[in-house]
Amino acid sequence: KGSDDRGRALRDIEQSDLTWRALSSLNVFRLLVAVSLLVLFFASGDPRFFGERYPALFSATAAGYFVFAALSGVTIRMRWISAAIQVVAQVTVDIAAIVILMHASGGISSGLGGLLVVFVGAGSLVLPMQVPGFLAALATLAVLAEQLFAQLFGGPASSGNYSAAGVLGAIIFAIALAARPLARRIQASEELAHQRGIDLANLSELNQYIVQHLRESIVVIDSNNDIRLLNSSAAALLGIDTDRQKKSMADVAPDLDRFLTAWRTDSGVSGHTDVTLVNVDQSARISVHLAPLGSGFGRHGPVLMFLEDASLMNARVQQSKLASLGRLSASIAHEIRNPVGAMSHAGQLLAESEGLTTEDLRLTEIIRTHAERVSHIIDNVLQLSRRESGQAEKLQLRPWLEDFALEYTRTLELQEGEVSVVSAEDGLIVHMDPSHLRQVIWNLCDNAVKYGSETGGIMVELRAGQVARSKRPFLEVLDRGHGIDAALADKIFEPFFTNRQGGTGLGLYISRELCELNHATLVHQPREGGGSIFRIVFADGGRWQRLSE
Protein backbone atom coordinates (compact mmCIF):
# COMPACT_ATOMS: atom_id res chain seq x y z
CA LYS A 1 0.00 0.00 0.00
CA GLY A 2 2.89 2.38 0.81
CA SER A 3 4.45 1.80 -2.61
CA ASP A 4 1.08 2.49 -4.24
CA ASP A 5 0.79 5.78 -2.34
CA ARG A 6 4.29 6.80 -3.40
CA GLY A 7 3.56 5.87 -7.01
CA ARG A 8 0.33 7.85 -6.97
CA ALA A 9 2.12 10.82 -5.41
CA LEU A 10 4.82 10.74 -8.08
CA ARG A 11 2.20 10.57 -10.83
CA ASP A 12 0.41 13.55 -9.30
CA ILE A 13 3.70 15.48 -9.32
CA GLU A 14 4.26 14.71 -13.01
CA GLN A 15 0.74 15.68 -14.05
CA SER A 16 0.49 18.81 -11.94
CA ASP A 17 1.02 22.15 -13.67
CA LEU A 18 1.76 23.61 -10.23
CA THR A 19 4.89 21.41 -10.00
CA TRP A 20 6.31 22.68 -13.27
CA ARG A 21 5.44 26.27 -12.42
CA ALA A 22 7.21 25.87 -9.06
CA LEU A 23 10.26 24.40 -10.80
CA SER A 24 10.34 27.30 -13.24
CA SER A 25 10.05 29.88 -10.44
CA LEU A 26 12.77 28.17 -8.43
CA ASN A 27 15.07 28.11 -11.45
CA VAL A 28 14.50 31.82 -12.04
CA PHE A 29 15.62 32.39 -8.45
CA ARG A 30 18.63 30.11 -9.11
CA LEU A 31 19.62 32.22 -12.15
CA LEU A 32 19.27 35.44 -10.15
CA VAL A 33 21.47 34.04 -7.36
CA ALA A 34 24.19 32.98 -9.82
CA VAL A 35 24.14 36.30 -11.70
CA SER A 36 24.11 38.34 -8.47
CA LEU A 37 27.08 36.47 -7.03
CA LEU A 38 29.08 36.93 -10.24
CA VAL A 39 28.28 40.65 -10.40
CA LEU A 40 29.14 41.22 -6.73
CA PHE A 41 32.38 39.26 -7.11
CA PHE A 42 33.69 41.07 -10.18
CA ALA A 43 32.29 44.51 -9.29
CA SER A 44 33.75 44.71 -5.79
CA GLY A 45 37.37 45.46 -5.10
CA ASP A 46 39.45 44.45 -2.12
CA PRO A 47 38.16 43.40 0.33
CA ARG A 48 35.54 41.44 -1.68
CA PHE A 49 31.97 40.83 -0.52
CA PHE A 50 32.30 37.12 -1.35
CA GLY A 51 35.13 34.80 -2.31
CA GLU A 52 37.82 36.56 -0.31
CA ARG A 53 39.37 33.25 0.90
CA TYR A 54 39.49 31.37 -2.45
CA PRO A 55 38.64 33.82 -5.28
CA ALA A 56 39.45 31.41 -8.11
CA LEU A 57 37.28 28.67 -6.60
CA PHE A 58 34.41 31.13 -6.02
CA SER A 59 34.41 32.54 -9.57
CA ALA A 60 34.65 29.09 -11.19
CA THR A 61 31.87 27.68 -9.01
CA ALA A 62 29.58 30.72 -9.61
CA ALA A 63 30.11 30.52 -13.38
CA GLY A 64 29.44 26.78 -13.42
CA TYR A 65 26.34 27.35 -11.28
CA PHE A 66 25.06 29.90 -13.82
CA VAL A 67 25.55 27.41 -16.69
CA PHE A 68 23.75 24.72 -14.68
CA ALA A 69 20.82 27.09 -14.02
CA ALA A 70 20.53 27.89 -17.75
CA LEU A 71 20.54 24.19 -18.69
CA SER A 72 17.98 23.47 -15.97
CA GLY A 73 15.69 26.07 -17.54
CA VAL A 74 15.81 24.17 -20.84
CA THR A 75 15.07 20.77 -19.26
CA ILE A 76 12.20 22.23 -17.24
CA ARG A 77 10.67 23.91 -20.29
CA MET A 78 10.99 20.86 -22.52
CA ARG A 79 10.08 18.42 -19.71
CA TRP A 80 12.66 15.92 -20.94
CA ILE A 81 13.16 14.47 -17.44
CA SER A 82 10.52 13.69 -14.84
CA ALA A 83 9.74 16.44 -12.34
CA ALA A 84 10.71 14.41 -9.24
CA ILE A 85 14.15 13.53 -10.64
CA GLN A 86 14.74 17.13 -11.70
CA VAL A 87 13.84 18.47 -8.25
CA VAL A 88 16.14 16.05 -6.41
CA ALA A 89 19.04 16.55 -8.85
CA GLN A 90 18.75 20.32 -9.00
CA VAL A 91 18.39 20.83 -5.23
CA THR A 92 21.35 18.48 -4.68
CA VAL A 93 23.47 20.59 -7.05
CA ASP A 94 22.16 23.72 -5.28
CA ILE A 95 23.37 22.35 -1.94
CA ALA A 96 26.79 21.45 -3.32
CA ALA A 97 27.26 24.79 -5.09
CA ILE A 98 26.15 26.90 -2.11
CA VAL A 99 28.40 24.98 0.29
CA ILE A 100 31.43 25.39 -2.04
CA LEU A 101 30.67 29.13 -2.47
CA MET A 102 30.27 29.44 1.28
CA HIS A 103 33.61 27.71 1.85
CA ALA A 104 35.35 29.99 -0.69
CA SER A 105 33.90 33.04 1.10
CA GLY A 106 35.09 32.18 4.59
CA GLY A 107 32.63 29.57 5.80
CA ILE A 108 29.27 29.88 7.50
CA SER A 109 30.02 33.44 8.63
CA SER A 110 29.64 34.60 5.00
CA GLY A 111 25.85 34.23 5.27
CA LEU A 112 25.52 32.26 2.03
CA GLY A 113 24.29 29.26 3.97
CA GLY A 114 20.90 30.95 4.29
CA LEU A 115 20.29 30.18 0.62
CA LEU A 116 20.10 26.50 1.55
CA VAL A 117 16.92 27.22 3.50
CA VAL A 118 15.27 28.58 0.34
CA PHE A 119 16.25 25.71 -1.97
CA VAL A 120 15.49 22.91 0.51
CA GLY A 121 12.18 24.56 1.46
CA ALA A 122 11.17 24.96 -2.18
CA GLY A 123 12.04 21.34 -2.93
CA SER A 124 10.03 20.21 0.11
CA LEU A 125 6.90 21.91 -1.32
CA VAL A 126 7.08 19.74 -4.41
CA LEU A 127 8.53 16.37 -3.38
CA PRO A 128 6.43 13.73 -1.61
CA MET A 129 6.88 11.61 1.48
CA GLN A 130 10.41 11.27 2.99
CA VAL A 131 12.39 12.99 0.23
CA PRO A 132 12.29 16.48 1.85
CA GLY A 133 13.80 14.99 5.02
CA PHE A 134 16.57 13.46 2.91
CA LEU A 135 17.35 16.84 1.32
CA ALA A 136 17.38 18.55 4.74
CA ALA A 137 19.74 15.91 6.10
CA LEU A 138 21.96 16.22 3.04
CA ALA A 139 22.17 20.02 3.43
CA THR A 140 22.93 19.77 7.15
CA LEU A 141 25.64 17.18 6.64
CA ALA A 142 27.15 19.30 3.84
CA VAL A 143 27.36 22.34 6.14
CA LEU A 144 28.95 20.29 8.94
CA ALA A 145 31.37 18.70 6.47
CA GLU A 146 32.42 22.14 5.24
CA GLN A 147 33.15 23.19 8.81
CA LEU A 148 35.17 20.07 9.43
CA PHE A 149 37.08 20.44 6.15
CA ALA A 150 37.85 24.11 6.90
CA GLN A 151 39.14 23.21 10.34
CA LEU A 152 41.33 20.36 9.09
CA PHE A 153 42.67 21.82 5.85
CA GLY A 154 41.96 25.52 5.99
CA GLY A 155 45.17 26.58 7.72
CA PRO A 156 45.84 28.07 11.13
CA ALA A 157 43.33 30.87 10.73
CA SER A 158 40.47 28.47 10.17
CA SER A 159 38.38 27.18 13.03
CA GLY A 160 35.08 25.33 12.94
CA ASN A 161 31.90 27.10 13.98
CA TYR A 162 29.82 24.04 14.77
CA SER A 163 27.22 25.87 16.82
CA ALA A 164 26.26 28.12 13.90
CA ALA A 165 26.26 25.09 11.59
CA GLY A 166 23.99 23.25 14.00
CA VAL A 167 21.55 26.16 14.18
CA LEU A 168 21.47 26.40 10.38
CA GLY A 169 20.87 22.65 10.13
CA ALA A 170 18.02 22.88 12.64
CA ILE A 171 16.43 25.72 10.65
CA ILE A 172 16.72 23.69 7.44
CA PHE A 173 15.01 20.67 9.06
CA ALA A 174 12.29 22.87 10.53
CA ILE A 175 11.55 24.47 7.17
CA ALA A 176 11.50 21.07 5.43
CA LEU A 177 9.08 19.61 7.99
CA ALA A 178 6.86 22.70 8.04
CA ALA A 179 6.69 22.77 4.26
CA ARG A 180 4.94 19.38 4.02
CA PRO A 181 1.56 20.41 5.54
CA LEU A 182 1.67 23.56 3.44
CA ALA A 183 2.46 21.48 0.34
CA ARG A 184 -0.47 19.18 1.09
CA ARG A 185 -2.83 22.12 1.40
CA ILE A 186 -1.52 23.64 -1.83
CA GLN A 187 -1.91 20.30 -3.58
CA ALA A 188 -5.43 19.87 -2.22
CA SER A 189 -6.34 23.39 -3.35
CA GLU A 190 -4.92 22.68 -6.79
CA GLU A 191 -6.85 19.42 -7.07
CA LEU A 192 -10.02 21.20 -6.01
CA ALA A 193 -9.40 24.00 -8.52
CA HIS A 194 -8.67 21.41 -11.21
CA GLN A 195 -11.89 19.54 -10.41
CA ARG A 196 -13.86 22.78 -10.35
CA GLY A 197 -12.31 23.64 -13.70
CA ILE A 198 -13.45 20.30 -15.10
CA ASP A 199 -16.93 20.81 -13.66
CA LEU A 200 -17.06 24.31 -15.11
CA ALA A 201 -15.89 23.05 -18.51
CA ASN A 202 -18.53 20.30 -18.41
CA LEU A 203 -21.23 22.79 -17.48
CA SER A 204 -20.07 25.13 -20.24
CA GLU A 205 -20.13 22.29 -22.75
CA LEU A 206 -23.57 21.24 -21.55
CA ASN A 207 -24.76 24.84 -21.78
CA GLN A 208 -23.39 25.12 -25.31
CA TYR A 209 -25.07 21.86 -26.30
CA ILE A 210 -28.43 22.92 -24.89
CA VAL A 211 -28.25 26.39 -26.43
CA GLN A 212 -27.14 25.11 -29.83
CA HIS A 213 -29.96 22.55 -29.97
CA LEU A 214 -32.74 24.87 -28.88
CA ARG A 215 -35.33 25.52 -31.55
CA GLU A 216 -35.44 29.16 -30.47
CA SER A 217 -32.87 31.60 -31.79
CA ILE A 218 -30.94 33.01 -28.81
CA VAL A 219 -28.28 35.71 -28.54
CA VAL A 220 -26.61 36.83 -25.28
CA ILE A 221 -25.40 40.44 -25.32
CA ASP A 222 -23.15 42.03 -22.70
CA SER A 223 -23.40 45.58 -21.38
CA ASN A 224 -21.28 46.87 -24.29
CA ASN A 225 -23.61 45.34 -26.89
CA ASP A 226 -21.01 42.70 -27.76
CA ILE A 227 -22.15 39.18 -28.62
CA ARG A 228 -21.12 36.74 -25.89
CA LEU A 229 -23.10 33.72 -27.05
CA LEU A 230 -25.39 32.79 -29.91
CA ASN A 231 -26.67 29.49 -31.22
CA SER A 232 -26.57 28.26 -34.79
CA SER A 233 -30.24 29.06 -35.29
CA ALA A 234 -29.66 32.72 -34.40
CA ALA A 235 -26.53 32.87 -36.55
CA ALA A 236 -28.46 31.53 -39.55
CA LEU A 237 -31.32 33.95 -38.93
CA LEU A 238 -28.95 36.93 -38.73
CA GLY A 239 -27.04 35.69 -41.77
CA ILE A 240 -23.69 35.56 -39.94
CA ASP A 241 -21.15 32.93 -38.93
CA THR A 242 -21.12 31.33 -35.47
CA ASP A 243 -17.48 32.42 -35.08
CA ARG A 244 -18.73 36.02 -34.81
CA GLN A 245 -19.05 35.59 -31.05
CA LYS A 246 -17.45 38.37 -29.01
CA LYS A 247 -18.07 40.73 -31.91
CA SER A 248 -19.93 44.00 -31.66
CA MET A 249 -23.62 43.88 -32.51
CA ALA A 250 -23.13 47.17 -34.38
CA ASP A 251 -20.86 45.34 -36.84
CA VAL A 252 -23.06 42.25 -37.16
CA ALA A 253 -26.57 43.72 -37.22
CA PRO A 254 -26.72 47.55 -37.07
CA ASP A 255 -30.52 47.66 -36.93
CA LEU A 256 -30.60 45.38 -33.90
CA ASP A 257 -27.86 47.42 -32.25
CA ARG A 258 -29.84 50.64 -32.70
CA PHE A 259 -32.97 49.05 -31.27
CA LEU A 260 -31.01 47.62 -28.31
CA THR A 261 -29.40 51.01 -27.59
CA ALA A 262 -32.80 52.73 -27.70
CA TRP A 263 -34.22 50.09 -25.34
CA ARG A 264 -31.36 50.61 -22.86
CA THR A 265 -31.61 54.40 -22.83
CA ASP A 266 -35.40 54.82 -22.98
CA SER A 267 -37.39 52.99 -20.33
CA GLY A 268 -40.52 53.63 -22.36
CA VAL A 269 -39.35 51.25 -25.08
CA SER A 270 -40.75 47.79 -24.36
CA GLY A 271 -38.48 44.79 -24.68
CA HIS A 272 -41.47 42.55 -25.31
CA THR A 273 -42.77 44.46 -28.30
CA ASP A 274 -42.17 42.82 -31.65
CA VAL A 275 -39.83 44.93 -33.72
CA THR A 276 -39.63 43.76 -37.30
CA LEU A 277 -36.22 44.26 -38.87
CA VAL A 278 -34.55 43.06 -42.03
CA ASN A 279 -31.41 41.03 -41.46
CA VAL A 280 -27.99 41.57 -42.98
CA ASP A 281 -28.51 39.48 -46.12
CA GLN A 282 -32.09 40.63 -46.74
CA SER A 283 -33.38 37.08 -46.23
CA ALA A 284 -35.74 37.36 -43.26
CA ARG A 285 -37.80 39.74 -41.20
CA ILE A 286 -36.92 39.35 -37.54
CA SER A 287 -39.01 39.87 -34.43
CA VAL A 288 -37.05 40.68 -31.27
CA HIS A 289 -37.81 40.05 -27.59
CA LEU A 290 -35.41 41.25 -24.88
CA ALA A 291 -34.94 39.95 -21.33
CA PRO A 292 -32.37 41.46 -18.89
CA LEU A 293 -29.99 39.02 -17.19
CA GLY A 294 -28.69 39.24 -13.64
CA SER A 295 -29.92 41.34 -10.75
CA GLY A 296 -29.03 44.94 -10.07
CA PHE A 297 -28.12 45.83 -13.64
CA GLY A 298 -31.55 46.29 -15.19
CA ARG A 299 -31.42 47.32 -18.82
CA HIS A 300 -27.76 48.31 -18.63
CA GLY A 301 -26.42 44.81 -17.96
CA PRO A 302 -26.30 41.62 -20.02
CA VAL A 303 -29.37 40.90 -22.13
CA LEU A 304 -30.89 37.69 -23.46
CA MET A 305 -32.30 38.29 -26.92
CA PHE A 306 -34.89 35.99 -28.50
CA LEU A 307 -35.15 36.23 -32.28
CA GLU A 308 -37.92 34.84 -34.44
CA ASP A 309 -38.48 34.84 -38.16
CA ALA A 310 -41.54 37.01 -38.68
CA SER A 311 -42.33 35.29 -41.96
CA LEU A 312 -42.63 31.98 -40.12
CA MET A 313 -45.00 33.50 -37.58
CA ASN A 314 -47.09 34.83 -40.41
CA ALA A 315 -47.05 31.44 -42.10
CA ARG A 316 -48.36 29.78 -38.93
CA VAL A 317 -51.45 31.95 -38.89
CA GLN A 318 -51.87 31.87 -42.65
CA GLN A 319 -54.36 29.01 -42.64
CA SER A 320 -56.67 30.74 -40.17
CA LYS A 321 -56.45 33.96 -42.17
CA LEU A 322 -57.30 32.15 -45.39
CA ALA A 323 -60.25 30.42 -43.72
CA SER A 324 -61.62 33.78 -42.60
CA LEU A 325 -61.03 35.26 -46.05
CA GLY A 326 -62.77 32.29 -47.63
CA ARG A 327 -65.92 32.89 -45.63
CA LEU A 328 -65.72 36.60 -46.33
CA SER A 329 -65.14 36.08 -50.04
CA ALA A 330 -68.32 33.99 -50.41
CA SER A 331 -70.30 36.91 -49.05
CA ILE A 332 -68.37 39.38 -51.23
CA ALA A 333 -69.05 37.36 -54.36
CA HIS A 334 -72.82 37.50 -53.90
CA GLU A 335 -73.26 40.80 -52.08
CA ILE A 336 -70.81 43.05 -53.92
CA ARG A 337 -69.88 41.58 -57.28
CA ASN A 338 -73.41 41.44 -58.65
CA PRO A 339 -74.30 45.06 -57.71
CA VAL A 340 -70.96 46.27 -59.06
CA GLY A 341 -71.59 44.42 -62.30
CA ALA A 342 -75.04 46.00 -62.57
CA MET A 343 -73.60 49.47 -61.97
CA SER A 344 -70.89 48.94 -64.56
CA HIS A 345 -73.41 47.72 -67.14
CA ALA A 346 -75.73 50.65 -66.40
CA GLY A 347 -72.83 53.06 -66.82
CA GLN A 348 -71.98 51.56 -70.21
CA LEU A 349 -75.61 51.89 -71.36
CA LEU A 350 -75.72 55.43 -70.13
CA ALA A 351 -72.53 56.27 -72.04
CA GLU A 352 -74.19 55.04 -75.26
CA SER A 353 -77.16 57.37 -74.83
CA GLU A 354 -77.58 60.26 -77.26
CA GLY A 355 -77.37 63.88 -76.27
CA LEU A 356 -74.82 63.47 -73.48
CA THR A 357 -72.64 66.44 -72.77
CA THR A 358 -68.87 66.24 -72.24
CA GLU A 359 -69.40 66.51 -68.49
CA ASP A 360 -71.87 63.61 -68.59
CA LEU A 361 -69.38 61.43 -70.49
CA ARG A 362 -66.70 62.24 -67.92
CA LEU A 363 -69.02 61.09 -65.13
CA THR A 364 -69.81 57.83 -66.90
CA GLU A 365 -66.06 57.24 -67.34
CA ILE A 366 -65.57 57.70 -63.59
CA ILE A 367 -68.32 55.15 -62.96
CA ARG A 368 -66.68 52.65 -65.30
CA THR A 369 -63.15 53.17 -63.89
CA HIS A 370 -64.11 52.70 -60.25
CA ALA A 371 -66.40 49.78 -61.02
CA GLU A 372 -63.45 48.03 -62.67
CA ARG A 373 -61.23 48.86 -59.71
CA VAL A 374 -63.71 47.36 -57.23
CA SER A 375 -64.06 44.33 -59.47
CA HIS A 376 -60.27 43.84 -59.48
CA ILE A 377 -60.17 44.12 -55.72
CA ILE A 378 -62.82 41.42 -55.45
CA ASP A 379 -60.88 39.19 -57.87
CA ASN A 380 -57.66 39.58 -55.87
CA VAL A 381 -59.32 38.86 -52.54
CA LEU A 382 -61.07 35.81 -53.96
CA GLN A 383 -57.80 34.62 -55.48
CA LEU A 384 -55.96 34.93 -52.18
CA SER A 385 -58.76 33.28 -50.20
CA ARG A 386 -58.70 30.21 -52.43
CA ARG A 387 -54.97 29.68 -51.92
CA GLU A 388 -54.01 26.67 -49.86
CA SER A 389 -50.63 26.02 -48.30
CA GLY A 390 -49.31 24.98 -51.70
CA GLN A 391 -47.27 22.04 -52.90
CA ALA A 392 -43.61 22.97 -52.85
CA GLU A 393 -41.51 21.49 -55.63
CA LYS A 394 -37.85 21.54 -56.52
CA LEU A 395 -37.45 24.00 -59.37
CA GLN A 396 -34.38 24.56 -61.53
CA LEU A 397 -34.43 28.33 -61.33
CA ARG A 398 -32.51 29.27 -64.50
CA PRO A 399 -34.64 27.31 -67.05
CA TRP A 400 -37.80 28.31 -65.17
CA LEU A 401 -36.86 32.01 -65.44
CA GLU A 402 -36.02 31.73 -69.13
CA ASP A 403 -39.40 30.09 -69.85
CA PHE A 404 -41.20 32.70 -67.78
CA ALA A 405 -39.46 35.64 -69.49
CA LEU A 406 -40.39 34.24 -72.93
CA GLU A 407 -44.01 33.62 -71.91
CA TYR A 408 -44.41 37.05 -70.31
CA THR A 409 -42.88 38.86 -73.30
CA ARG A 410 -45.19 37.07 -75.76
CA THR A 411 -48.30 37.53 -73.61
CA LEU A 412 -47.85 41.30 -73.23
CA GLU A 413 -46.42 41.65 -76.75
CA LEU A 414 -43.30 43.36 -75.48
CA GLN A 415 -40.17 44.04 -77.49
CA GLU A 416 -37.29 41.61 -77.28
CA GLY A 417 -34.97 42.48 -74.41
CA GLU A 418 -37.51 44.52 -72.43
CA VAL A 419 -37.82 41.56 -70.02
CA SER A 420 -34.61 39.54 -69.74
CA VAL A 421 -32.70 37.14 -67.50
CA VAL A 422 -29.44 39.01 -66.88
CA SER A 423 -27.77 36.44 -64.61
CA ALA A 424 -28.69 33.13 -63.03
CA GLU A 425 -26.39 30.44 -61.72
CA ASP A 426 -26.67 27.01 -63.31
CA GLY A 427 -27.98 24.26 -61.07
CA LEU A 428 -29.67 26.66 -58.65
CA ILE A 429 -32.62 24.84 -57.06
CA VAL A 430 -35.45 26.45 -55.07
CA HIS A 431 -38.37 25.01 -53.13
CA MET A 432 -41.69 26.69 -53.86
CA ASP A 433 -45.11 26.06 -55.32
CA PRO A 434 -44.67 26.77 -59.09
CA SER A 435 -48.06 28.48 -59.42
CA HIS A 436 -47.31 30.72 -56.43
CA LEU A 437 -43.90 31.67 -57.81
CA ARG A 438 -45.37 32.41 -61.23
CA GLN A 439 -48.06 34.66 -59.76
CA VAL A 440 -45.54 36.58 -57.61
CA ILE A 441 -43.04 37.16 -60.45
CA TRP A 442 -45.85 38.04 -62.88
CA ASN A 443 -47.19 40.66 -60.48
CA LEU A 444 -43.71 42.13 -59.85
CA CYS A 445 -43.05 42.28 -63.60
CA ASP A 446 -46.43 43.98 -64.18
CA ASN A 447 -45.46 46.70 -61.70
CA ALA A 448 -42.02 47.06 -63.28
CA VAL A 449 -43.49 47.37 -66.78
CA LYS A 450 -46.09 49.93 -65.71
CA TYR A 451 -43.66 52.15 -63.83
CA GLY A 452 -40.90 51.67 -66.41
CA SER A 453 -43.17 52.86 -69.23
CA GLU A 454 -43.76 56.10 -67.32
CA THR A 455 -40.03 56.91 -67.47
CA GLY A 456 -39.85 56.43 -71.23
CA GLY A 457 -38.51 52.89 -71.52
CA ILE A 458 -39.28 49.38 -70.28
CA MET A 459 -36.29 47.43 -68.96
CA VAL A 460 -37.13 44.63 -66.54
CA GLU A 461 -34.26 42.42 -65.43
CA LEU A 462 -34.47 39.04 -63.68
CA ARG A 463 -31.46 38.00 -61.64
CA ALA A 464 -30.89 34.90 -59.49
CA GLY A 465 -28.07 33.69 -57.26
CA GLN A 466 -27.17 32.74 -53.71
CA VAL A 467 -26.87 34.92 -50.62
CA ALA A 468 -23.17 35.18 -49.82
CA ARG A 469 -23.35 34.19 -46.15
CA SER A 470 -26.35 31.90 -45.73
CA LYS A 471 -26.10 30.35 -49.25
CA ARG A 472 -29.87 30.63 -49.62
CA PRO A 473 -31.07 31.12 -53.20
CA PHE A 474 -32.64 34.42 -54.20
CA LEU A 475 -34.48 35.87 -57.18
CA GLU A 476 -34.59 39.60 -57.96
CA VAL A 477 -36.82 41.68 -60.23
CA LEU A 478 -35.12 44.98 -61.17
CA ASP A 479 -36.59 47.97 -62.96
CA ARG A 480 -35.68 51.54 -63.91
CA GLY A 481 -38.90 53.22 -62.87
CA HIS A 482 -39.30 56.24 -60.61
CA GLY A 483 -38.48 54.14 -57.54
CA ILE A 484 -40.30 54.20 -54.22
CA ASP A 485 -40.08 57.09 -51.80
CA ALA A 486 -38.19 56.09 -48.63
CA ALA A 487 -41.08 57.42 -46.53
CA LEU A 488 -43.44 54.98 -48.24
CA ALA A 489 -41.13 51.95 -48.39
CA ASP A 490 -42.51 50.45 -45.15
CA LYS A 491 -46.12 50.72 -46.38
CA ILE A 492 -45.96 49.20 -49.85
CA PHE A 493 -46.73 45.69 -48.58
CA GLU A 494 -49.80 46.80 -46.62
CA PRO A 495 -53.16 45.80 -48.12
CA PHE A 496 -55.00 48.48 -50.13
CA PHE A 497 -52.03 50.85 -50.08
CA THR A 498 -51.32 52.39 -53.48
CA ASN A 499 -49.92 55.64 -54.83
CA ARG A 500 -51.00 54.98 -58.42
CA GLN A 501 -54.38 55.95 -59.78
CA GLY A 502 -56.43 52.88 -60.60
CA GLY A 503 -54.29 50.53 -58.45
CA THR A 504 -55.91 48.16 -55.97
CA GLY A 505 -53.07 48.14 -53.43
CA LEU A 506 -53.26 44.34 -53.13
CA GLY A 507 -50.62 43.15 -55.60
CA LEU A 508 -47.56 43.41 -53.36
CA TYR A 509 -49.53 42.33 -50.32
CA ILE A 510 -50.65 39.13 -52.04
CA SER A 511 -47.13 38.55 -53.38
CA ARG A 512 -45.61 38.72 -49.90
CA GLU A 513 -48.35 36.51 -48.46
CA LEU A 514 -47.66 33.86 -51.09
CA CYS A 515 -43.92 34.04 -50.41
CA GLU A 516 -44.41 33.63 -46.68
CA LEU A 517 -46.75 30.73 -47.35
CA ASN A 518 -43.73 29.01 -48.92
CA HIS A 519 -41.30 30.07 -46.14
CA ALA A 520 -39.70 32.61 -48.47
CA THR A 521 -39.22 36.35 -47.90
CA LEU A 522 -40.05 39.24 -50.22
CA VAL A 523 -38.30 42.55 -49.53
CA HIS A 524 -37.76 45.81 -51.39
CA GLN A 525 -34.50 47.68 -51.95
CA PRO A 526 -33.88 50.94 -53.78
CA ARG A 527 -31.77 50.51 -56.90
CA GLU A 528 -28.66 52.58 -57.38
CA GLY A 529 -29.19 54.96 -60.26
CA GLY A 530 -32.98 54.92 -59.92
CA GLY A 531 -35.60 52.22 -59.86
CA SER A 532 -36.42 49.37 -57.51
CA ILE A 533 -35.25 45.87 -56.64
CA PHE A 534 -37.71 43.30 -55.30
CA ARG A 535 -35.86 40.31 -53.87
CA ILE A 536 -37.29 36.90 -52.99
CA VAL A 537 -35.05 34.88 -50.68
CA PHE A 538 -36.11 31.24 -50.69
CA ALA A 539 -35.87 28.80 -47.79
CA ASP A 540 -33.13 26.19 -48.17
CA GLY A 541 -34.09 22.54 -48.48
CA GLY A 542 -33.19 21.51 -44.94
CA ARG A 543 -34.99 24.48 -43.44
CA TRP A 544 -38.08 23.79 -45.57
CA GLN A 545 -38.30 20.23 -44.28
CA ARG A 546 -37.77 21.36 -40.68
CA LEU A 547 -40.40 24.11 -40.88
CA SER A 548 -42.94 21.91 -42.65
CA GLU A 549 -42.88 19.28 -39.91
Lateral strand order in the sheet of 303-309: 227-230, 217-221, 303-309, 285-292, 277-278
Integer Cα distance of 497 and 492 in angstroms? 6
SS3 category, 475: strand
Q: Which helix (H) or strand (E) holds 314?
A: helix 310-316
**Are β-strands 473-478 and 532-537 bridged in parallel, bridged antiparallel, or unpaired?**
antiparallel
Integer Cα distance of 322 and 353 in angstroms? 44
Task: Record the pTM.
Answer: 0.44
SS3 category, 422: strand
Peptide bond into 399 cis (omega under 30): no
Residue 474: which residues within 8 A CB-CB, separation 6 or more?
A: 282, 283, 464, 465, 466, 467, 535, 536, 537, 538
What is the CATH code for 393-548?
3.30.565.10
278 to 258, 307, 380, 485, 522: CA distances (angstroms): 13, 12, 27, 18, 11
According to DSSP, the residues that pair with 252 across neighbouring strands are: none
Is 57 buried (19+), middle (13-18) or exposed (0-12) by CB count in 10 A? middle
Strands (E), 358-445: 393-396, 419-423, 429-432
Dihedral angle of Cα 233, 239, 240, 241, to the nearest 10 degrees: 50
Q: Which CATH superfamily includes the segment(s) 217-311?
A: PAS domain (3.30.450.20)
Give the count of alpha carbons within 13 A of 96, CB side only.
10
pLDDT in tens, the chain (549 residues): 445 555 555 555 565 667 778 788 888 888 998 898 888 888 776 656 677 778 888 889 889 989 988 998 888 888 777 777 888 888 888 888 888 888 888 777 777 888 888 888 887 777 655 666 777 888 888 888 888 887 777 654 455 577 777 888 888 878 777 777 776 777 677 777 777 888 887 887 777 777 777 777 888 888 888 888 888 778 777 767 666 556 778 777 777 788 888 888 887 776 665 555 555 555 556 778 888 887 667 788 888 888 877 766 665 666 566 566 666 665 666 577 778 778 888 888 888 887 778 888 888 888 887 777 677 667 666 666 665 556 788 889 899 999 999 988 888 888 888 889 888 788 888 988 888 898 899 989 988 888 877 777 788 899 998 887 777 899 999 988 888 887 777 788 877 777 666 566 778 888 888 888 888 888 888 888 888 899 999 876 555 554 454
Amino acid identity of residue 525, one-letter, is: Q
Domain definitions of the chain by residue range: 2-199, 217-311, 317-385, 393-548
Give the count of alpha carbons within 13 A of 194, CB side only.
11
